[in-house]
Structure 1
Amino acid sequence: MGTGTIRHMALFTLKVPADSREAQAFLKDGKEILSGIPVVRQFEALRQVSAKCEFDFCFSMEFANQEDYDSYNNHPDHQAFVSERWETEVAKFQEIDLLK
């Protein structure tokens, strides 16, 4: 285990109902913006289906290594999405970073 690939997952619940148009727009915009960052691989926007989890959605993506992950975190498109959308539309979240 441990090839250097990092899987980053952000589980979250929005301030609006999960089945609303606003939620769908957030997921669509997040996918377009975040997957457009060159170091992001395998981006997925997922809907939670387990009653055991308190979150409604997940953004999952991979990075080749820690350097790429750091580049993503510092990328202006990521930072803008966080400040303009994430911080205003997300009610709660949990981030998980795993080494593959």
Structure 2
Amino acid sequence: MKHGTIRHMAVFTLKHAPDSAETAAFLRDGAEILSAIPVVKNFEVLRQISLKCDFQYGFSMEFEDQAAYDAYNSHPEHQAFVAKRWEIEVAAFQEIDFVN
């Protein structure tokens, strides 16, 4: 991660059972849709293993700078994913943003 890069992470729990087809589809579709946005770098889908955290999954990605992060947040594909999938299928979440 180069200096000034923003690492955005969203940790979340889905309304679906962990081993369900719906969970697999959400994680797959999230990765496909969000990683295709041009400003997104190093996209990862993560599974939580800590007993100290109630969230089950995470999406992690990097942005070159604040302008790229802002472009992601306003991108039509991101906004559509949030409206059509995230707001419907996510039970709880926390967003974390780091800069080095």
Q: TM-score range by the shorter chain?
A: over 0.9
**Corresponding residue for 1:93?**
93
What fraction of aligned residue pairs are identical, expressed as a percent?
65
Using the TM superposition, give the Cα deviation of residue 19 of structure 1 relative to its aligned residue in structure 2, in angstroms.
1.5
Q: Equivalent residue of 1:3, what SS? A: coil
Q: Deviations over 1:44-71 (max 9, x none)?
A: 0111011111100000000000000000
**Corresponding residue for 1:75?**
75
Return the letter of the residue paired with 1:8. Answer: H
Mind listing any 5+ residue stretches in structure 1 that lack a counterpart? none
Matches within 5 A, 1:16-31: 16-31=16-31
Return the letter of the residue paired with 1:4. Answer: G
Alignment TM-score, normalising by the size of structure 2? 0.97
CA distance in 2, matches of 1:80, 1:18: 24
Alignment TM-score, normalising by the size of structure 1? 0.97
When the two chains are superposed, the root-mean-square deviation of aligned CA atoms in Å is 0.9
- Between the two proteins, the alignment pairs up a number of residues equal to 99
Mind listing any 5+ residue stretches in structure 2 that lack a counterpart? none
CA distance in 1, matches of 2:67, 2:30: 22
Q: Deviations over 1:55-90 (max 9, x none)?
A: 000000000000000000000000000000000000
Return the letter of the residue paired with 1:55. Answer: F
Q: Which runs of 4+ in 1 moved over 6 A?
A: none
